[in-house]
Amino acid sequence: MFDVEKIRLDFPILAKEIFGNPLVYLDNAATSQKPRQVIDALVDYYENFNANVHRGVHTLSMEATDKYEDAREKVSSFINSESSDSVIWTRNASESLNLVAYSWGENNINEGDEILLTPMEHHSNLVPWQELARRKNADIKFIPMLENGTLDMDRVDDLITEKTALVSAVHMSNALGTINPVRELGVKAHRMGAKILVDGAQSVPHMPTDVQELNCDFLVFSGHKMLGPTGIGALYVKKEILESMEPFLTGGEMVLEVSYEEASWADLPMKFEAGTPNIADSIGLGSAVDYLNVLGMENVREHEKDLTTYALNRFKNADLEGLDLFGPDDPNIRGGVFSFNTPDVHPHDLGTFLDRIGIAVRTGHHCAMPLVRSLGVAATARASFYLYNTKKEVDILVDGVTEALRYFRDGPN
């Protein structure tokens, strides 16, 4: 059974009070909270086998190396990668995307080529391609978006042509919650000889993700959004593509042989991991994967679909006159991300009001400025759910927003 109240006991921070109110943490699209098991894994590393990896024959180094590589195996299995050699440790999804843009893009994107994106991309899956296109004199195109926050898939066949070198798409939007049909995009991309990159920063933590089933060429995600520590992320690349890529960073650890004149590169995956890696947080991410595996990602997804369905109904039926809720109405194609705006109250004021009653939401453009502006607003307030959130917290959110709108409309009692 997926026992949310029992799960919540694993997260120390959820017992915290904010201005005398129980914390209602609804900023999970920005970063998730960490269970005691992950926190303990970090402490265990520093207390019991803190040493550098791959470099020593002494006991601590070998223990650290085993745990570090074991974490890579866990992550590889979690996304069903064909081999752990295809999983590269990075700091976050942003670094993973930049690695692809430089290591693959510089040698595979040429003048006149086209890169196809969606309008709902996070800046991390937009700016690197803008810069690459500028350097290579390539073009960026966008799949149109329908009014309900989904992609106009009827236009895709006309947009993916022989000029298309890459389709790079967010799996789940961090601003709308939209779950995009990335497998279908990949089929269409491969048909024309293009590659498909999936930004899984919001999907990997919230739903089963199988890179072989998706048949994606690249997948990026961050540990801190899936119960893991900050400063650790992963890049998956199909092995035959990864073997052809040149390293993004050079230096120690990623070399095979070095002379005063030249160097050769180590085998995968170390070829792309220059310098001392983020050992502790890699191990912490492995612990987060263990935690998610015990819960079962199908169960995590079903719990969030239930919350999303409930929240959609609560927002629809509440007294929230003038409030716009963005994104699809169908919980089957939507994650637990709720961005909303009202012309009467600035999102920052709304966020501050909610904070005073213990509710943590995000306000701003959510690193998706072009998307938010296309909605006709400068910013939104965003509530985002995860596996430890409850329907009671949805009620607290909707009641809090209702009270905030009344307060700013009528003033304090």
pLDDT one-digit tens code per residue, 268-282: 999 999 999 999 999
216 is a catalytic site residue: no
Closest CA to 225 of 300, 154, 165, 312: 300
Which residue(s) pair with 263 in the sheet? 258
Amino acid at 174: N
Residue 205 DSSP one-character state:
T
**Catalytically annotated residue among 41, 297, 367, 396:** 367
Q: Is residue 319's pLDDT more than 90?
A: no
Residue 383 in contact with residue 312, Cβ under 8 Å?
A: no
* Section 108-124 average pLDDT: 98
List strand residue ranges (DSSP E) for 7-157, in order: 17-18, 21-22, 24-25, 87-90, 114-117, 139-142
Rounded to whole angstroms, the Cα distance separating 96 from 94 reads 5
Q: Is residue 1's pLDDT more than 80?
A: no
pLDDT of residue 322: 87
Rounded to whole angstroms, the Cα distance separating 33 from 38 reads 10
pLDDT in tens, 212-224: 999 999 999 999 9
pLDDT of residue 105: 98
* Section 141-156 average pLDDT: 98
Domains for the chain: give ranges and CATH numbers: 4-27+296-410 (3.90.1150.10), 49-294 (3.40.640.10)
Residue 184 DSSP one-character state:
H
Residue 387 in contact with residue 401, Cβ under 8 Å?
A: no
Angle subtended at Cα 384 by Cα 383 and Cα 388, rounded to the nearest 5 degrees: 120
320 to 301, 325, 398, 401, 405: CA distances (angstroms) = 28, 10, 9, 8, 8
* Section 115-133 average pLDDT: 98
The per-residue pLDDT of the chain, averaged, comes to: 97
279-295 and 297-317 helices, crossing angle to 10°? 80
Record the tokens describing residue 328, joined without a space.
Answer: 């699809």
Buried b (16+ CB within 10 A) or exposed e, 21-60: eebbbbbbbebbbbbeebbebbebbeeebebebbeeeeee
pLDDT in tens, 38-57: 999 999 999 999 999 998 89
CB atoms within 10 A of CB 138: 20
Cβ-proximal residues to 175 (8 Å cutoff; 6+ apart), any chain: 120, 326, 337, 339, 365, 366, 368, 371, 372, 380, 382
* Section 368-385 average pLDDT: 96
List strand residue ranges (DSSP E) for 91-204, in order: 114-117, 139-142, 164-170, 195-199
Q: How many CA atoms lie within 13 A of 54 on its CB side?
A: 18
* Section 318-346 average pLDDT: 93
Return the percentage of the chain with pLDDT > 90, whole number.
Answer: 95
pLDDT of residue 297: 98
pLDDT of residue 351: 97
User: Who has greater pLDDT, 248 or 25?
Assistant: 25
* Section 374-394 average pLDDT: 97
CB atoms within 10 A of CB 62: 15
pLDDT of residue 269: 97
Q: How many CA atoms lie within 13 A of 339 on its CB side?
A: 28
CB atoms within 10 A of CB 4: 16
Length of the chain: 413
* Section 17-46 average pLDDT: 98
Q: Is residue 413's pLDDT more than 80?
A: no
Q: Is residue 123's pLDDT more than 90?
A: yes
In terms of DSSP bridges, do strands 17-18 and 21-22 run parallel, antiparallel, or are they unpaired? antiparallel
Alpha helices in 238-390 (DSSP H): 239-244, 279-295, 297-317, 347-356, 369-374
Residue 275 in contact with residue 253, Cβ under 8 Å?
A: yes
pLDDT band for 184, please (50, 70, 90 cuts).
very high
Cβ-proximal residues to 204 (8 Å cutoff; 6+ apart), any chain: 78, 79, 171, 219, 221, 225, 226
* Section 364-387 average pLDDT: 96
* Section 28-42 average pLDDT: 98
pLDDT in tens, 63-114: 999 999 999 999 999 999 999 999 999 999 999 999 999 999 999 999 999 9
